[in-house]
A = this chain, B = another copy of it.
């Protein structure tokens, strides 16, 4: 993932530096390297529940330490690039298993594996010019989900209906906010709102892109006739939010063409998410952020093959 302009090579391991690295690890979930964004994201995690906050920070720390011990790239470490997958993995584990010493041990081990997979995925994808995104988290969480004890009752998610779905104003508001919150497994609307403010602190463009992605996802899900309850829980839109941040505000230049291209990608991520839920749920799995990762990879890989002025990478590779 890209870093902000400031070249953040740690000169010392002073507590302030370590704290900044920790907060950046949380912020990198939304492809930002700003510690202030990380601080607001952490507040949102604690707003979702103290366990989520504690485990999120634990995951960042465990993954970053493991990457440090294994000799990962120092610049990446300082920018939090070794922390965000551990953060999400640790939260996914505590949400499923509840807090306990056994859960904490598992979260630390899983975060350490995230550090290894981050290096592997980065190395393999670096050759073809694609970013790792949250793929290490998706791999680890995807493996753990069906292997853990308290699997949810393996009911297939409800199928979409024949007509379009209508949302009440309250459902619409919840859906808009929870599309942010579900990135971190949060289901409280105010937690999602704090995440949006965190994005705004990092970059005006990222916040606008994310908000548009959230709206596009709600429109698409309603047009597909997906159930209102699940739409308002944000279950179909968190991938579109991330897709919009990645394409429109991070990897591609900001032009009207990019905006349209991103809108197509955000729309496409909704049936992708619904399909992955239908596929993974029977064995106790979840799509996690795979739809975001795969959609972004494919839409980024297409750019060099398209000769469209106005559709290009932010910086030449």
Interface residues on A, range: 35 or more
**Could you say which of A10-18, A37-45, A295-303 contacts chain B?**
A295-303
Contacting pair B144 A271 (CB below 8 A): yes
User: What distance in Å separates the Cβ of A217 from its nearest Cβ neighbour in chain B?
Assistant: 13
Asked whether any CB of chain B lies closer than 8 Å to the CB of A5, the reply is no
Contacting pair B283 A279 (CB below 8 A): yes
User: What distance in Å separates the Cβ of A161 from its nearest Cβ neighbour in chain B?
Assistant: 6
Contacting pair A311 B71 (CB below 8 A): yes
Contacting pair B271 A301 (CB below 8 A): no
A132-158 vs B, Cβ < 8 Å mask (1 yes, 0 no): 000000010011111111110000100
Q: A147-B271, A148-B160, A275-B145 are in contact. Are A116 and B302 (CB under 8 A)?
A: yes
CA distance A307 to B68 in the complex (A): 10
Contacting pair A120 B305 (CB below 8 A): yes
Which residues of the other chain, B, contact A261 by a CB distance below 8 angstroms? 70, 116
Which residues of the other chain, B, contact A278 by a CB distance below 8 angstroms? 146-147, 283-284
Asked whether any CB of chain B lies closer than 8 Å to the CB of A46, the reply is no
Q: Which of B161, B268, B279, B305 contacts A72 (CB 8 A)?
A: B305
Q: Which of B156, B161, B298 contacts A116 (CB 8 A)?
A: B298
**Could you say which of A121-129, A171-179, A184-192 contacts chain B?**
A121-129
Contacting pair B109 A308 (CB below 8 A): no
CA distance A268 to B150 in the complex (A): 19
CA distance A283 to B276 in the complex (A): 10
Contacting pair B149 A225 (CB below 8 A): yes
Contacting pair B160 A147 (CB below 8 A): yes
Contacting pair B159 A301 (CB below 8 A): no
Asked whether any CB of chain B lies closer than 8 Å to the CB of A113, the reply is yes
CA distance A311 to B297 in the complex (A): 30
Contacting pair B144 A302 (CB below 8 A): no
CA distance A274 to B144 in the complex (A): 9
Closest to A285 in B: B279
Contacting pair A305 B143 (CB below 8 A): no
A224-266 vs B, Cβ < 8 Å mask (1 yes, 0 no): 1100000000000000000000000000000000000100110
* Residues in A49-95 with C-beta less than 8 Å from chain B: 69-73
Q: A112-B264, A160-B148 are in contact. Are A311 and B124 (CB under 8 A)?
A: no
Q: Which of B127, B146, B297 contacts A128 (CB 8 A)?
A: B127
User: What distance in Å separates the Cβ of A253 from its nearest Cβ neighbour in chain B?
Assistant: 15
Leading 10 A-B pairs by shortest Cβ distance = A71-B308, A119-B302, A120-B302, A119-B305, A120-B301, A71-B307, A147-B275, A147-B271, A146-B278, A123-B305
